[in-house]
Structure 1
């Protein structure tokens, strides 16, 4: 394996370029000079390194700022995606990501020609903190850039390479902590934006962090992370999930300590120490992690992530920024592995719910009746993961006096309906980015009709205006009021439409369940809902 020093040296030398056309854009940024490409009215800069390669001795260490280079760097091709397993066969989310590597801390920039002090959106891709890349075609920032937004998409370390905690790694660090390396990468990317985005036409004092699924989880991590404070000014969380997460050294909420989880991986890998572990090929590490059932999450370490997400938001200690948060009505239709098995009949379902939810069972069955069991099971998991999280985010930001906007994406189209995937997880993304023609190969294809284009244009307008001004608006479309005291939200179906009180009772039930689990200290909160729920702890005064 090439040493870290050689990688760092290679990253700092002159990048020779072939002759390029005069119109190809050149930017002289503090980090160095780059030459990109022009696509229509938008300048694009690809594969910009924002940190030194996290390889060799730098594996499982915080990212280090990339030193400025001399000469001109070719920014016409995307950098490698971070190490990750192959996508599941038949997955509608699967891409050919091209090269993957541990040397993957790259970002990409889209900016309208002539942009100056333009608002910035930093996009954090999803993929369960295990897969994905900022260079996926569906995240192309052209349409948002045409509306005056400078778009930055980023890579960050994934899986066992991004989130492993271990006692020896903690002992190596200044603060006796480990894990959260992928989150620290995201923070370093935001620091890069603060130092360099002015040169690309962006305004470092008007930065919105945005992400979907694990990207939405990352947005919440960043909102609660002290080292990220002041690096962004607004947030967009699409299909985020505010689940419990392991704590570094303590077993709480039904989770093993993060260091103990890491120790199990190290033992399975047969490594005697960190030097040996760092010498193992990343492919083998991923195989070992999969074999022991490792699932990457942030680690509550008291510094990068000070508390459980719910606790930070309850205490009002999160970043006081405006937010858009929402979810899709069919989230679990494409994530059926998250849903519980269907009971043999309605009576069995009701008996299980009464056993697990006790005094909350009547309300649970009112909201999630047994008449259509499969649909009910999809709804229970959707709401516990995504619906409750979205409404909780806008409620908590509203309590801080911040403009907060809630949405439900409930749009279907022929190919999705035929596949039983009405408003499935991530199906809003081609509309938000205007990339319906750039979806993955097995994705239900969005038809190029005026109706679909109009909905996409509306969502592009709402998102870009929020990024610009904190007030989402769209030409020729209804106003989108803040959540406020009326609990207003926007539904995106065949067209945008504002309403109040989304799914009455959904938020209150899930809030009560999570409150009891937190109070007990012994139960996690994630997809263990409905018929998969453990017996709910008894009511306590703080949860009434």
Structure 2
């Protein structure tokens, strides 16, 4: 792989000047002819529709296949983002305003010139299933394509337009289900890749799905969805979260059913039913739903998502594919809304924890001590959402015989650390894509130094080699051991370093908490941990012990 990468980069660089003089690339794919642009030795195709969007009167229906278009479609500009809440924000993730539309089911392709049988990485953006877009500069696929990997980034329906369940919608559906429309979009995009990527030089049988945050969550949805089975060969989940999901028809784990939540939303908007909601302006509908607190989630519907993610992975019913998964040391430093307010003192913290965690309080306080309770609060939520999920993913895949790889991103730089955001949620993204100049306006700017570039080069190598053959390997960087029986992981801090047994006891505690809550059928597992935790249920034989 190392020799391949060096040769590929040299060849691409040498070809750059020649390609600059060539005509715009034209591809004749089964979907139709598309004309893109050339960026050095990389061909770029933007805004290609992969399905017909169910807009306005057809909202909340499955994405519809497109017939082959006639003539040549210009693929030189990104398509609009899917409709999402508008307004200014000071969060580090907030981008400049971008065009939005219900007609948003498009994808983008970065491919090396003269690619043939190249591996494919399909990127699913994050944004809590509420915001985000494949057009964000940080997701530019050029640097990955320079390593010989075709990158495809996709849009999918967001918020109420992508994830609403409602009994009227279920009655309309031939499978008697509703919700999960954004997931169906992702599956439709994978079908498009299967049918068309060969024309761009890709191997449709060598596809890696990848995403961060809600994109990582989507990767897990796809891994547990029978409708996506066989459309990919590997998976990358960055800062994913395996939390409790609503059930379509009945209340579960303290949450109303998905259909009931849809009815409550409709009533809150004083809509007479689905047809009334379909007649509303998309932006008004989206903004109103967000203000009412509508939370888009994948819904357990028995079809697209047959069961809770934890149950699917426990039963070995997930896709049998290699996984690369991990999280960031400072996840919650930029997501303060997920952490409870600190108490007045260390004594108050310990008293509160002991009252909530009962027989697990000693184990909890060893991991998250009162002596440094402010940092403990941040670490508690980080581990319950992202750390436990990442390790659970690689453990379960290892258990079904799939080589899987765990990481923790712990890189810092002056602007980040000065802002108190060391290794914050999503801060690995400009390293993974090599897009230091593409970060949002409020993002602490990554210094373009030799040290930071070396880290980025290593991460691009690891990610693209994993997409190529399932083994993350980097030129001039340490070997990344599989998780295996030694609980190995790669620690990204100053330079990659192989270590073992990440945060001893963290996984076992959070697994015990989840297991006890699941056994009650009434308590969710998500960010309701630490000072926000309900009283811990009693020990259950099926959960074992710590």
**In the alignment, is residue 416 of structure 1 matched against residue 400 of structure 2?**
no
Task: Report the 3-state secondary structure (helix = DSSP H, G, I; strand = E; otherwise coil) of the residue aligned with 1:324.
Answer: strand
- 1:94 maps to 94
> C-alpha displacement at 1:86, in angstroms?
2.4
Residue 292 of structure 1: how far off its partner (Å): 2.4
Partner residue, 1:209: 209
Deviates more, 1:520-529 or 1:52-61: 52-61
Consecutive unaligned residues in structure 1, runs of 5 or more: 1-19
CA distance in 1: counterparts of 2:443 and 2:87, whole angstroms? 14
Q: Which residue of the partner structure matches residue 63 of structure 1?
A: 63
Q: How does 1:122-521 map to 2 (within 5 A)?
A: 122-521=122-521
Provide, for residues 480-500 of structure 1, a one-character-per-residue CA deviation record: whole Å limited to 9, x for no partner: 010000000000110000000
| CA deviation after TM superposition for structure 1 residue 21, in Å | 8.0
Partner Cα separation in structure 2 for residue 229 and residue 49 of structure 1: 22
Alpha-carbon separation, structure 1, partners of 2:23 and 2:454: 32
* Range moving further from structure 2, 226-235 or 48-57: 48-57
Q: CA deviation at 1:88?
A: 5.2
Q: Could you tell me how far apart the structure 1 residues matched to 2:461 and 2:21 are?
A: 33
Kept in 1, the 8 Å contact 2:86–2:287? The answer is: no
Provide the residue aligned with 2:30 in structure 1. Answer: 30
Shift of 1:291: 3.1
- Aligned counterpart, 1:3: none
Task: Give 3-state SS (helix, strand or coil) of 2:123's partner.
Answer: strand
- The alpha-carbon deviation at position 270 of structure 1 amounts to 1.9
2:10 is aligned to none
CA distance in 2, matches of 1:211, 1:89: 23
**Aligned residue in 1 for 2:530:** 530
Q: What is the Cα deviation at residue 271 of structure 1? A: 1.8
Shift in Å, 1:56: 2.5
Contact persistence 1:326–1:391 (CA under 8 A): yes
Deviations 1:200-228 (A, max 9, x none): 11100000000000000000000000000
Say which SS state the counterpart of residue 381 (structure 1) adopts.
helix
Distance, in Å, in 1 between the alignment partners of 2:223 and 2:87 is 29
Query: What secondary structure, in the 3-state scheme, does the structure 2 residue paired with 1:275 have?
Result: helix
Tell me if the contact between 2:84 and 2:287 (Cα under 8 Å) persists in the aligned partners: no
Take 1:418 and 1:33, find their aligned partners in 2: how far apart are those partners? 49
Q: Distance in 2 between matches of 1:445 and 1:370?
A: 33
Shift, 1:343, TM fit: 0.8
Rounded to whole Å, the distance in 1 between the matches of 2:324 and 2:22 is 40
The CA deviation at 1:233 is 0.5
| 3-state DSSP of counterpart to 2:171 | helix
Q: How many residues align?
A: 525
* Aligned residues of 1:81 and 1:97 also touching (Cα < 8 A): no
Q: TM-score scaled by structure 2?
A: 0.95
Contact 1:265–1:288 (CA under 8 A) maintained in structure 2: no
Counterpart secondary structure, 1:371: helix
| Separation (CA, whole Å) in 2 of partners of 1:253 and 1:450 | 49
Structure 1: 4+ residue segments shifted above 4 A: none
| SS of 2:52 mapped into structure 1 | coil
Q: Structure 1 pair 252/88, CA: closer, same or farther in 2 (3 Å)?
A: farther
**Separation in structure 1 between the aligned mates of residue 526 and residue 180 of structure 2, nearest angstrom:** 19
Contact 2:85–2:290 (CA<8 Å) still a contact in 1?
A: no
Deviation at 1:22, TM superposition (A): 5.1
Q: 2: CA distance between counterparts of 1:259 and 1:151?
A: 36
Q: Is the Cα contact below 8 Å between 1:491 and 1:498 reproduced in 2?
A: yes
Superposition TM-score, scaled by structure 1 size: 0.95
Deviations 1:138-196 (A, max 9, x none): 00000000000000000000000000000000000001100000000000000000000
Q: Is the 8 A contact 1:97 1:136 kept in 2?
A: no
Q: SS at the partner of 1:395? A: helix
C-alpha separation between the residues in 1 aligned to 2:396 and 2:199? 35
In the alignment, is the contact (CA less than 8 A) between 1:268 and 1:288 conserved in 2? no
| Contact 2:147 2:464 survives alignment (8 Å) | yes
SS of 2:424 mapped into structure 1: coil
Backbone CA RMSD of aligned residues: 1.0
Partner Cα distance (2:224, 2:373) in 1? 37
CA apart distance, 1:53: 2.0
Q: Is the 8 A contact 1:87 1:94 kept in 2?
A: no
Matched, 1:48 2:48: yes
The 8 Å contact of residues 56 and 282 in structure 2, kept in 1 or not, is answered as no
Report the more deviating stretch, 299-308 or 85-94.
Answer: 85-94
Distance 1:415 1:85 in 2: 29
